[in-house]
Structure formats: structure tokens, C-alpha cells
Amino acid sequence: MSAPDRAASASPPEPRETLITAESVYGTILVSGIIVVSGADDASSWATFVTVLGTVIVFWCAHVYAGTVAGHGVVQGDTTTLGTALRRSLRRSLGFLTSALLPSVVLLAGALHAIPDDVAIYTALWLGVVILGVIGYSAFTIRGSSWPVRILGCLGTAAFGVAMILLKAVIH
């Protein structure tokens, strides 16, 4: 194993590397989009949960595969091994999975009839808004931005989630 590969696998990942990533934003938007499209068919929270789970797993696998292929052999002081490329891709794509976790739990609660379907579906969409807002706020915090800029970043990022809810309302 090369020195850069050892360094990459030895250091613990920072939140910026795993949770506050493009993959986190993309995963959240993907889940919200799936919920919106499922709502167009008046799907139950169970059907929506199954669709979200299956789609997220397929997209996550494709993302990990693409990241591994693209990262393998890239020279960063030395050639990156296949194993290191896979580990980096898995670490980077963690936000993709975690962004789907909370909305999926709410959809599952609806599927188990702990809450009504409509409540589960709209709550999952609003959780997407909150997740996007937290990602936006965190990204600007990590950059060292002032609190007004952090709030604007939060609102700007969350606005995409609100747009998804409006789309759901229009479709439904």
C-alpha cells in the first residue's frame, strides 16, 4: 500500500467528507423526488417506502461503483489501489444513504399504520426540507461564514425541498 493510500485509510473522516457532501444533497433530493412521483399515483406510504428504499440502494450502488472506477489508478503522489478507491467511494457516498434514513423511517411508520399515509408522506417531504437546510447551514458554518450568511445558505438550500413539496401539491 502506498503512503497516500495508508494516510487516506488511517485518518477518520470529517463530517465534511461524509455528511456535508454533494451526495447528501443529491440523496435528499432523490428521496423527495421519489415521494413526489409516488404521490402522483396515490401510492401508500408502504409503496412509497419500498420504492424509496429500492431506488436509493440501486443509485447508491451505482454511485459507489462509479466512484471506485473513477478513483482507481488515479495518481496522487502514487497510484491508488482498487481497495483504496472503493473505501474512498464508500466513505464519500455515506451521505447519500444517511440523507434517506429519516424520511424512510417516517414512511415506514406510515406503512406500519403508526401514522396516517398522508401525514407520513408529507412529513417525509418536510424532513427533506429540514435536511437540506441543515446541510446548507453546516456547509456555510464549515466555511467560516457569518451567521446571516449561514441562515441564507440554510434557506437557499431548503428552498429546493419546498419546491418539491409545491410540486407534490400541484401533482396531487
Cell matching residue 162: 419546498
Residue 147 has pLDDT above 90, yes or no: yes
Q: Write down the pLDDT at residue 73.
A: 75
Cα–Cα distance measured from residue 75 to residue 67, given in angstroms and rounded to the nearest whole number: 15
29-78 per-position pLDDT tens digit: 999 989 988 866 778 999 999 999 999 999 999 999 999 998 887 766 66
Q: Write down the pLDDT at residue 65.
A: 94
Cα–Cα distance measured from residue 158 to residue 131, given in angstroms and rounded to the nearest whole number: 8
Q: What pTM did the predictor assign? A: 0.79
Going from N- to C-terminal start, the domains of the chain cover 20-171
116-139 per-position pLDDT tens digit: 999 999 999 999 999 999 999 998
Segment 153-158 shows an average pLDDT of: 93
Q: Write down the pLDDT at residue 1.
A: 44
Q: Write down the pLDDT at residue 169.
A: 77
| Half-sphere exposure of residue 102: CA atoms within 13 angstroms, side-chain side | 17
Cα–Cα distance measured from residue 129 to residue 147, given in angstroms and rounded to the nearest whole number: 19
**Average per-residue pLDDT for the chain:** 85
